[in-house]
């Protein structure tokens, strides 16, 4: 009577990725964690070989790879990098047992220039996309397989610079403020607006934004800014008395900014800038100056002239009075 076959293993592999969606750190770098689980769902023990390969989008730079957790009974490859060395580990699993590996990967997406490299769909001509990761398990490292992918969010690093052509002027004179917003990428910025409400001591005159700036609300509507490009707005205002502080900040954008938050009024962020201008009263000439001397000389001459004219008029009046008296006396004689 033939012997019954010994129960064998049935290897399976699953994979998860977190966080999803991704959020960059303060330097625009992403940290992603993959968890790979190998399970023996068969009725007998079995050995396995686990390979894990990154297939990231074009332009994604891998900065660091670390296996942060692995089974104590498994053998982990020291130089695993998901690229030139895809072998993650080997081990033996009893029936119903599992081994879990955790891989932490740090990437920089600043080199991504094509939007399709950010998603999790492998298009024609692409060798990878997003942060795609494929695990393969088996004695022959062929089957089964599991994939996990997280899309790389579009990020636009917006910065704003504000300048003024004069910082001290006479009350009522005009100055020109210039705003420049630059997109450092790596994605095109859309839905961009800037808040630049004028203080009461500045009076709006004009701008070169062709209607994009609303003086009533103080909002400059930009729209889209391609990667590496800048847009500018120049605004003419008249200056009132005292110091006028004028602040401008990126108010909104569709894409997150890796190092600033639109509309949060944080002066330490690069999407906000401030300039001030002083309006002063006109100064009278100082004593001892040529202008003051001329003024005093002119006033003195005017007074002397008036006094002389008055004296002449008085003398003439008295002379006429004497003549009349003499004429009257002669007639009486």
What's the CATH architecture for 156-280? Sandwich (2.60)
Could you read off the pLDDT of 222-241 as tens digits, one per residue? Answer: 999 998 899 999 999 999 99
Counts for the chain of helices (H) and strands (E), in that order: 1, 19
- Kindly state the average pLDDT of the residues 268-281: 97
Tell me the CA distances in angstroms from 318 to 315, 324, 326, one per residue in order.
Answer: 5, 10, 13
Instruction: Give the pLDDT score at 304.
Output: 44
Which residues have C-beta within 8 Å of that of residue 212, sequence separation ≥ 6? Answer: 220, 221, 222, 233
Q: Is the pLDDT of residue 326 over 70?
A: no
pLDDT at 169 over 60: yes
Q: Say yes or no to pLDDT of 26 above 90.
A: no
- Topology agreement, domain 11-148 and domain 156-280: yes
Is the pLDDT reported for residue 141 higher than 70?
no
pLDDT for the residue 160: 98
% of the chain at pLDDT higher than 90: 65
* Mean pLDDT for the chain overall: 86
User: What does the domain layout of the chain look like in residue ranges?
Assistant: 11-148, 156-280
103 CB burial (10 A radius; 0-12, 13-18, 19+)? buried
β-bridge partners, 203: 238
Please write the tens of the pLDDT for every residue from 178-219.
999 999 887 889 999 999 999 999 999 999 999 999 999 999
pTM for the whole structure: 0.63
pLDDT at 296 over 80: no
CATH label, 11-148, candidates 3.40.605.10, 2.30.30.240, 2.60.40.10, 3.30.565.10: 2.60.40.10
Contact 260, 158 (CB under 8 A): yes
């Amino acid at each position: 009577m033939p012997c019954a076959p010994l129960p064998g293993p049935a290897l399976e592999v699953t994979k998860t990725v977190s966080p999803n969606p991704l959020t960059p750190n303060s330097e625009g770098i992403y940290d992603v964690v993959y968890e790979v689980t190998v399970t023996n769902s068969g009725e007998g023990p079995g050995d396995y070989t686990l390979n894990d390969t990154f297939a990231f989008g074009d332009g994604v730079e891998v900065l660091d790879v670390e296996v942060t957790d692995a089974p104590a009974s498994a053998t982990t490859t020291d130089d695993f990098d998901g690229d030139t060395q895809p072998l993650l580990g080997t081990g033996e699993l009893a029936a119903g047992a599992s081994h879990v590996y955790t891989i932490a990967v740090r990437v920089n997406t600043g080199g991504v220039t094509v939007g399709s490299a950010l998603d999790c769909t492998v298009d024609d001509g692409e060798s990878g996309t997003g942060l795609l990761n494929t695990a393969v398990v088996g004695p022959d490292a062929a089957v089964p397989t599991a994939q996990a992918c997280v899309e790389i969010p579009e990020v636009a690093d917006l910065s704003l610079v504000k300048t003024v052509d004069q910082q001290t002027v006479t009350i009522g004179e005009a100055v020109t403020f210039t705003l420049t917003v630059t997109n450092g990428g790596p994605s095109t910025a859309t839905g961009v607006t800037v808040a630049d409400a004028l203080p009461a001591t500045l009076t709006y005159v004009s701008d070169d934004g062709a209607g994009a700036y609303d003086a009533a609300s103080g909002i400059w509507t930009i729209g889209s800014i391609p990667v590496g490009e800048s847009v500018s707005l120049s605004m003419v205002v008249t200056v009132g008395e005292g110091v006028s502080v004028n602040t401008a900040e990126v108010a909104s954008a569709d894409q997150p900014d890796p190092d600033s938050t639109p509309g949060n009024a944080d002066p330490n962020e690069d999407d906000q800038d401030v300039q001030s201008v002083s309006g002063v009263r006109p100064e009278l000439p100082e004593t001892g100056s040529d202008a003051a001397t001329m003024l005093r000389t002119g006033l003195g001459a005017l007074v002397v002239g008036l006094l002389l004219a008055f004296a002449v008029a008085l003398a003439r009046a008295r002379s006429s009075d004497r003549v009349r008296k003499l004429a009257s006396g002669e007639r009486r004689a």
